[in-house]
A and B are shown apart, each in its own frame.
Chain A
């Protein structure tokens, strides 16, 4: 069993196809699988549906795949920082399914955990609830949301060992673990692959069972909204 690949392109070889559903980790530009996104651009895969909390910014992150028109549909909670996204959406070129952020995270978690649907109060009485099954439990109304199972998950972690065990850093963890679990195949990119045995087994954030392919690479890690206080 060999999980470590030499490049993003090699790690994606044979797993991409037109019309596929990809789950991507990241929040804003934090903890996004930037190397795998660039490799999907190079591969030219078309009509992709992407489940990701955000859609990157113009020219970076998932914004790269929007610019090339490779994305048919986004499933996201917030798309505010991407002018090209807004343009394609308002002109009808891009489909958009808004999911509340926690509902999106739980849809991924549930999909990866073999749970086809779950009831939540989130969105009851709003457009999100339209067309969904409503059910009362203990006097409160809930709606049914479906688990997501993606054809491919692309995630970014801080460190990995060759068996695919992942450790994330600070708030760059965000959607990466739930996204990783919901893919039929998960490819992870990390800043550093360390030798087997050098990660604390009690401190593994995502066990290697969820990770099928792995690459190490240099990350730009762009800051979206640099904010400081007076020293």
Chain B
């Protein structure tokens, strides 16, 4: 057994601290907002120009002028503020956002992150990911531990073009939680039913300790 998408999101939500301003990426990271622990108040930033992102609207209340970075319709909250893209990235680059939770294609043991293109196959662009990983206080990656073909995505070195160099602090996968430390990755936690041996076998990167 291992964690499913929702369990990974719930585990990632445990990373949140009261009072933090946080940016959630597209995919599993978006689900994190469903699991914010009781008593913890976090403000979600959407890099297209919004702080205080609310839930998806109910049908009939969609507003074309109110979307998130994944271009999905969303809603505002009483504390919401809007601003332009240069202001949005000024707060990201300026270190005001405490944490970003992002998806990844590959992560390396030194914290290198690749999540924006596969040469010759998939060319979508980095969007705001390069700015986020360079600017925020803490970078947490949430992704499947292995590819559909069973190959490890937690590597000694990334093979894809990088989004950022030595930027990842913590990796949350379907198998558990790893921290980027001196010399490699450290196992912080194993998903329910996953053994230490299974985690090591699925990880190409050096595991220390």
Q: Which residues of A contact B (CB under 8 A)?
A: 27-31, 53, 76-81, 86, 89-90, 96, 98, 100-106, 108-109, 120-128, 158, 168-178, 205, 221-231
Contacts and interface: CB of A to CB of B under 8 A. Distances in A.
Interface of B: 46-50, 55-59, 61-68, 70-74, 76, 82-86, 88-90, 92-93, 112, 123-131, 134-135, 161-166
A28 B126 contact: no
Task: Tell me what chain B mostly uses at the interface: helix, strand, loop, or mixed.
Answer: loop
B86 A77 contact: no
Contacts of B55: 229
A121 B134 contact: yes
A124 B133 CA distance: 11
Contacts of B162: 125-127
A90 B165 CA distance: 27
B64 A222 contact: yes
Nearest to A109: B86
A102 B67 contact: no
B28 to A, nearest CB: 16
Contacts, number: 180
A159 to B, nearest CB: 12
B71 A29 contact: yes
A103 B73 CA distance: 25
A98 B126 contact: yes
Nearest to A230: B58
A172 B92 CA distance: 19
A130 to B, nearest CB: 11
A27 B89 CA distance: 14
A66 to B, nearest CB: 15
Contact of A30 (B64, B125, B128, B163): B64
B59 to A, nearest CB: 5
Given A126-B163, A225-B72, A228-B73, A173 B93 contact: no
Contact of A170 (B65, B90, B161): B65
Contact of A105 (B56, B88, B166): B88
Contacts of A158: 65
A178 B85 contact: yes
Given A100-B128, A223-B73, A229-B58, A174 B85 contact: yes
A170 B161 CA distance: 34
A225 B66 contact: no
B58 A228 contact: yes
A205 B85 CA distance: 13
A120 B93 contact: yes
A228 B57 contact: yes
Contact of B64 (A105, A175, A205, A223): A223
